[in-house]
Structure 1
Amino acid sequence: MNSPFQNKWTTTLALPFIGGLLYASSFPMTFAPSFFFGTIIGMAFLIYSLSFSNKEMQERSIWMDLLSVIAFSVGYNILGYYWIPETLNEFGQIPFPLNWTLGLVFSFFICPHLILFTIFHRYYKKISIKSSSFISVTTNRNIVYAIILTLFEYFTPQQFPAHIGHNWLQLAPNLALAPVFGAPLFSFINFWIALSLVSKLKFKKSDKMAHFVFCIILLINIISPLERTQNKASSTHQIRLVQPNIGNFLKISSENGMAHAFDEVFDKYFQLSTKPADQKIDLIFWPETAYPRLLNSAQMSTNDRYVPELIKSIITSTGAELFTGGYDQSSRKNDNYFQTEYNAAFHFGNDGKFKNKFRKIKLIPFGEGLPFGPLNKYLAKYIQNISFFASGESMTLFETNKGTPFVSAICYEILFSNFIREHLNNLKGDPEFLVNLTNDSWYGKTAEPFQHLYLSKWRALEFQLPIIRMTNTGITSVIYANGDETKRSEQFVEEVQDLQLLSSKRYKTPFQKYGIWLTIAFAIALLILVAVMNKFRPLKN
């Protein structure tokens, strides 16, 4: 028979660790299908291990609760982010077992919202002398906690935001509520269901309202599938997606100025971009940082002779516009190359002239910069394997030769709904599609490219915005506003896709206008409804 001490540590460490594994199982993996209920059950395991009653808080310190969160994060990290050690080995040449040791350190940063919630909850309980009769009702308490958890999840900065409600994407295109409430609604529902499971198993209290609302939300989504476009297509473009499958060694060699590497990269892009097509191509797309030489958008905008000959020759051969990732020179100059370049996207017209650019705003910590503010410029003198890009300021509204407006997000910017929402709302017009330029070659044959694609789809659903996802080594495809996807250019395959892109005049979705606050209003309305029900027919708890 286990001693109480052993049972305590089982609850503190083993249960949340298994919960982390289950949570990760809801997202794409290369070796098993995704498990829809993984995030719900996994979160229930973690919540079960935390101190929620006054008696538990007397028996367990806050450090025990934080240890449970770390145990959850370790399980989540090992299964969900096993590609981080692979990347450290590929990108940083860090060998085994040091790469896995450093990968496990990520566990301390993977779920900051859960750490903050645990600290907040302890502080709330400490200053709360006695719970009100309203909060003492199980359903009310679970709704309040679900609201708080959803707010922490949405507003706490995260490196790779795979939220608890993202598992609902598996139902697409049957997600009619996604453009209205966005992913926060589904996070709120999943947190609520997880809390209801803990109430039943740990405290023997029922929360039938949680399961009723879950079923109603599920039914509404299933019976109201989303359409590919909001309205009848108003614009048609014949597009070419060029996935060159350029390996990291060749890519870095070309960027470092090796002539043979330049020639090989240039030749590959020219041959793929100018292949014969069944129909005239309107737009050609290349991936993130495709053009290896430093460009200068300021010079190109004033004099056409600064437009690269490769780009001019491709446009002359095809008569198409070209949209590519590359490096844009900034006005800064220093010996450390600190913020002297931007990771950028460039748009060239079918006349060979430079039209516009977008400079990446949200940079990848420890890859494109460091999160240490003013100390970064001093650290740049000693840390050589980080790019230290300058950061752009605003999203650019591009326009095709046919007058169709569109926008771009580079790499993992597409993962952050609040970031995309903020910048879309600051534009002077409404784009008809979004271009996501990406290079996932560093992650090898792992789940990262599949997870990146999976989470990107949420932006198409939330904003009813088709996404052209253009990558170097895969996965390349077009995602439509209902979550449908065109044929994929699979990983590590050199391929050209010629597709017809249909887009329509787009109107701001409710989620774009109001963000998470529609979900909070819905949750508060539920609280009021439960309070009214309790007044006339008290619930047993």
Structure 2
Amino acid sequence: MKLARFLISREGFISVLCYTVTATFSFLSFAPVNLPFFVWIAPFGLFIIEKRYRGEWKKLIYHGFGFAILFYLVSFHWIYHMTTVFGGFDWYLAVPIFIGSAILLNFKFPVYLLLFSFLATRVKRFFPLIASFSILFAEFFTPQVFPWYFGNVVAENHILAQNAEYMSAYGLSAFLFFVSYFLFYLRKPKQILSLVKTYLPKHTLANRRVLGGIFTVILVLVVFFGNGYYLYQKWENVKPIAERDVLIVQPDAPLEFRDGRNPAEEIRKLMTRIDQMVESELKEKSVDLIVLPESGIPFFTTHDSEITRAMRIYWHQFESLMAIISLRHGTNLYFNELDADIPKEKQSNRIVRNDIRTYNSSVLMSPNGERKNSYQKVFLLIFGEYMPFEWMYALSGQTGQFAPGTKLDLIPYYEVRNTPNVVKKELHWEDTFSLSPDSVRNHYKDHQIKETVIGSFLPLICYEVIISEFVRKFQGDPDFIVNVTNDKWYGNSVESFQHHTLGRLRAIEFRKWIVRSTNSGTSVFTDHLGRNIDNEFTPIESTATIRKKVSVIPGEMTFYRLYGNLLSYLFMGIVGISFLVYVKRNS
């Protein structure tokens, strides 16, 4: 009742309007709408609430959660779809999960308001750095499953986005709030008039401070836009050392069969579809690499072991088809699968099911049809691939119980076959009913080539691509980044575009191209400047192929890869000490 009275009051109306301004303008600025003008006024809602309730800590906390829930509802509405389809929860469980996650995973809003108000009450002057410092602190030190930083929205501007090479999205968030708070200060004609007066011959202390503030803002704008332009020109003119022809196959594989479909029939249709899509695309000319998405062929593995056979996830026809595709076209094939093992300390003569670890894995098959290096997903998705508590698995039969991978190795790929096939009969999916993987390889034995590694790529599965601190842990110099994902769990929503845009900055941080392969859209190629090639996205909830030449950019350890968030930590440290000294001197 108290909440209802508040919402219908004038105070409540203004508050909800402020929440709406920040949530809606942020959403409109971001993919797929892409109206970047709104990003500069999106923080105004936060600024208004902080000013109205400055020093009222309890109210600021409540309003922070108000921002969190509405921001979540507008921008991440698809999470409800994820909990019902991916997690398998009924609506009466999905709703509280959605609201609870909105609060727990958006603590940045109450933390921002509290810190901003705390600093403002002590500094007692207009300092845009307060807004900048507060958002940086809030984004750094609060939990976020889907880290949509405000800096990701700023990065829709290709010039400003180049600064991510030094500071990722964090630095762009700080830049946004610095500029936005200054614009907020100028929202009234009186403020603009006071700035004009600074040019009159009045050398008062207040005027000098305002003039100093204007100079600081201009300097910050020049630094960010100037550095962004310099980096854009620098990297646009870099000549690639090689090009790799890459084909993405988007098969629109089924997620589950709770609607009564026959699983065996649907999987057969899927395997036939993949086989035909690849053959149709490569009939005239092969490629260097074919990439199938996460869950492109769900539920199975090509890893033939005692454990995978005991779990009934090894399927020889799956391995046979992957070998057929790679051998038929003489190319590398990268695909997603399940995998399983038992820790060494628990291995014995008898397989105990509780000891088995299951992985979300991707593996490369060489042009000779040999299963090579694999990568097991390290960052797992909560409520989809694992539950935070063991008892919660009973609430959802759909949620997987995956173990995280432990290795962060690049995936080598091989020189492709340059000679045409002369076999009497090309093999296809229907041949896997009678031919084992070894029989397939024997069929193409006269066309096998010497396996020569010609490069490597950085493998990322789904959600991992949006975690900048995680991705930089990979060692070595990859030719490009491959991100395989399955966004079908989120339906025909904006999630797929948002997922890609959140990961797009990895291309700038690494100065490497990104090959994004999805199960049902949107697949896309992104270059080392963060530009989506030809702005060509595959449609959502459909089958599609997309083929591009990927440039291999010369290896160079960028600042962010070497030092991570060093500049952001330095900024927070210097500004924090400066505020402390200022407050002590003026108290």
TM-score by structure 1 length?
0.81
1:68-87 map, 5 Å: 68-87=63-82
Any conservation in 2 of the 1:239–1:501 contact (CA below 8 Å)?
Answer: yes
Range moving further from structure 2, 182-191 or 95-104: 95-104
Any conservation in 2 of the 1:244–1:494 contact (CA below 8 Å)?
Answer: yes
* Alpha-carbon spacing, 1:238–1:144, altered in 2? closer, same or farther (3 Å): same
Residues 270-306 of structure 1 show CA distances to partners (whole Å, capped at 9, x for unaligned) of 2222234432322111000223343264849xxx997
* Alpha-carbon spacing, 1:235–1:260, altered in 2? closer, same or farther (3 Å): same
- Cα distance between partner residues in 2 of 1:252 and 1:356: 36
Residues 362-385 of structure 1 show CA distances to partners (whole Å, capped at 9, x for unaligned) of 11111111234xxx2x54356422
Aligned to 2:298: 292
Any conservation in 2 of the 1:415–1:456 contact (CA below 8 Å)?
Answer: yes
Range moving further from structure 2, 380-389 or 305-314: 305-314
- Cα distance between partner residues in 2 of 1:410 and 1:420: 11
* Alpha-carbon spacing, 1:279–1:247, altered in 2? closer, same or farther (3 Å): same
Aligned to 1:514: 563
Please report how far the alpha carbon of residue 43 of structure 1 lies from its aligned counterpart in structure 2 after TM superposition. Answer: 2.0
- Cα distance between partner residues in 2 of 1:314 and 1:146: 52
Aligned to 1:65: 60
Aligned to 2:451: none
Please report how far the alpha carbon of residue 496 of structure 1 lies from its aligned counterpart in structure 2 after TM superposition. Answer: 2.2
* Alpha-carbon spacing, 1:342–1:309, altered in 2? closer, same or farther (3 Å): same
Any conservation in 1 of the 2:116–2:131 contact (CA below 8 Å)?
Answer: no
Query: Given the alignment of the two structures, is residue 138 of structure 1 paired with residue 126 of structure 2, yes or no?
Result: yes
Q: 2:411 aligns with which of 398, 401, 405?
A: 398
Please report how far the alpha carbon of residue 34 of structure 1 lies from its aligned counterpart in structure 2 after TM superposition. Answer: 2.7
- Look up the SS of the partner of 2:34 in the other structure: coil
Please report how far the alpha carbon of residue 464 of structure 1 lies from its aligned counterpart in structure 2 after TM superposition. Answer: 0.8
Aligned to 1:460: 507
Range moving further from structure 2, 516-525 or 408-417: 516-525
Query: Given the alignment of the two structures, is residue 353 of structure 1 paired with residue 370 of structure 2, yes or no?
Result: yes
- Look up the SS of the partner of 1:70 in the other structure: helix
Query: Given the alignment of the two structures, is residue 274 of structure 1 paired with residue 279 of structure 2, yes or no?
Result: yes
Please report how far the alpha carbon of residue 107 of structure 1 lies from its aligned counterpart in structure 2 after TM superposition. Answer: 2.4
Any conservation in 1 of the 2:362–2:375 contact (CA below 8 Å)?
Answer: yes
Q: Which runs of 5+ in 2 are unaligned?
A: 1-5, 192-205, 307-313, 344-350, 416-453, 583-587
Query: Given the alignment of the two structures, is residue 158 of structure 1 paired with residue 139 of structure 2, yes or no?
Result: no
* Alpha-carbon spacing, 1:339–1:157, altered in 2? closer, same or farther (3 Å): farther
- Cα distance between partner residues in 2 of 1:526 and 1:64: 27
Query: Given the alignment of the two structures, is residue 418 of structure 1 paired with residue 469 of structure 2, yes or no?
Result: yes
Range moving further from structure 2, 265-274 or 436-445: 265-274
Please report how far the alpha carbon of residue 66 of structure 1 lies from its aligned counterpart in structure 2 after TM superposition. Answer: 1.4
Q: Which runs of 5+ in 1 are unaligned?
A: 535-541
1:367-516 map, 5 Å: 367-372=384-389, 376=390, 378-380=391-393, 383-402=396-415, 403-421=454-472, 423-424=473-474, 427=475, 429-486=476-533, 487-516=536-565
Range moving further from structure 2, 461-470 or 178-187: 178-187
- Cα distance between partner residues in 1 of 2:226 and 2:579: 21
Please report how far the alpha carbon of residue 112 of structure 1 lies from its aligned counterpart in structure 2 after TM superposition. Answer: 1.9
Any conservation in 1 of the 2:253–2:295 contact (CA below 8 Å)?
Answer: no
* Alpha-carbon spacing, 1:434–1:389, altered in 2? closer, same or farther (3 Å): same
1:129-278 map, 5 Å: 131=122, 135-139=123-127, 142-172=128-158, 175-199=161-185, 207-209=213-215, 211-216=217-222, 217-222=224-229, 225-226=232-233, 231-249=238-256, 258-275=263-280, 276-278=282-284
Query: Given the alignment of the two structures, is residue 28 of structure 1 paired with residue 31 of structure 2, yes or no?
Result: yes
The amino acid that maps onto 2:322 is: I
Range moving further from structure 2, 206-215 or 39-48: 206-215
* Alpha-carbon spacing, 1:489–1:339, altered in 2? closer, same or farther (3 Å): farther
Any conservation in 2 of the 1:350–1:401 contact (CA below 8 Å)?
Answer: yes
Any conservation in 2 of the 1:85–1:103 contact (CA below 8 Å)?
Answer: yes
Residues 24-54 of structure 1 show CA distances to partners (whole Å, capped at 9, x for unaligned) of 222124xxx333243442323113212688x
- Look up the SS of the partner of 1:469 in the other structure: strand
- Look up the SS of the partner of 1:22 in the other structure: helix
Aligned to 1:538: none
- Cα distance between partner residues in 1 of 2:302 and 2:268: 21
- Look up the SS of the partner of 2:548 in the other structure: strand
The amino acid that maps onto 1:367 is: G
- Cα distance between partner residues in 1 of 2:507 and 2:492: 25
Aligned to 2:48: 48
- Look up the SS of the partner of 1:507 in the other structure: coil
Any conservation in 1 of the 2:250–2:544 contact (CA below 8 Å)?
Answer: yes
Please report how far the alpha carbon of residue 238 of structure 1 lies from its aligned counterpart in structure 2 after TM superposition. Answer: 2.0
- Cα distance between partner residues in 1 of 2:406 and 2:518: 24
Please report how far the alpha carbon of residue 183 of structure 1 lies from its aligned counterpart in structure 2 after TM superposition. Answer: 1.8
- Cα distance between partner residues in 1 of 2:234 and 2:95: 43
Please report how far the alpha carbon of residue 120 of structure 1 lies from its aligned counterpart in structure 2 after TM superposition. Answer: 5.3
- Cα distance between partner residues in 2 of 1:313 and 1:251: 31
The amino acid that maps onto 1:392 is: G
- Cα distance between partner residues in 2 of 1:328 and 1:227: 42
Mark the structure with the bigger radius of gyration: 2
* Alpha-carbon spacing, 1:323–1:161, altered in 2? closer, same or farther (3 Å): same
Please report how far the alpha carbon of residue 446 of structure 1 lies from its aligned counterpart in structure 2 after TM superposition. Answer: 1.1
Give the CA RMSD over aligned residues. 3.9
Residues 112-138 of structure 1 show CA distances to partners (whole Å, capped at 9, x for unaligned) of 22333445567x67xx9x94xxx4553
Please report how far the alpha carbon of residue 454 of structure 1 lies from its aligned counterpart in structure 2 after TM superposition. Answer: 1.4
Aligned to 1:539: none
* Alpha-carbon spacing, 1:92–1:420, altered in 2? closer, same or farther (3 Å): closer
Residues 77-103 of structure 1 show CA distances to partners (whole Å, capped at 9, x for unaligned) of 222122223334544566779856654
Query: Given the alignment of the two structures, is residue 319 of structure 1 paired with residue 330 of structure 2, yes or no?
Result: yes
- Look up the SS of the partner of 1:50 in the other structure: helix
- Cα distance between partner residues in 1 of 2:352 and 2:237: 49
TM-score by structure 2 length?
0.75
Any conservation in 1 of the 2:63–2:110 contact (CA below 8 Å)?
Answer: no
Please report how far the alpha carbon of residue 247 of structure 1 lies from its aligned counterpart in structure 2 after TM superposition. Answer: 3.6
Residues 123-181 of structure 1 show CA distances to partners (whole Å, capped at 9, x for unaligned) of x67xx9x94xxx45533xx3245224213313433111111111222222664423123
- Look up the SS of the partner of 1:322 in the other structure: strand
Any conservation in 2 of the 1:66–1:115 contact (CA below 8 Å)?
Answer: yes
Any conservation in 2 of the 1:179–1:462 contact (CA below 8 Å)?
Answer: yes
* Alpha-carbon spacing, 1:169–1:121, altered in 2? closer, same or farther (3 Å): closer
- Cα distance between partner residues in 2 of 1:146 and 1:339: 48
- Cα distance between partner residues in 1 of 2:279 and 2:176: 49
* Alpha-carbon spacing, 1:13–1:65, altered in 2? closer, same or farther (3 Å): farther
Any conservation in 2 of the 1:174–1:223 contact (CA below 8 Å)?
Answer: no
Q: 1:111 aligns with which of 82, 106, 110?
A: 106
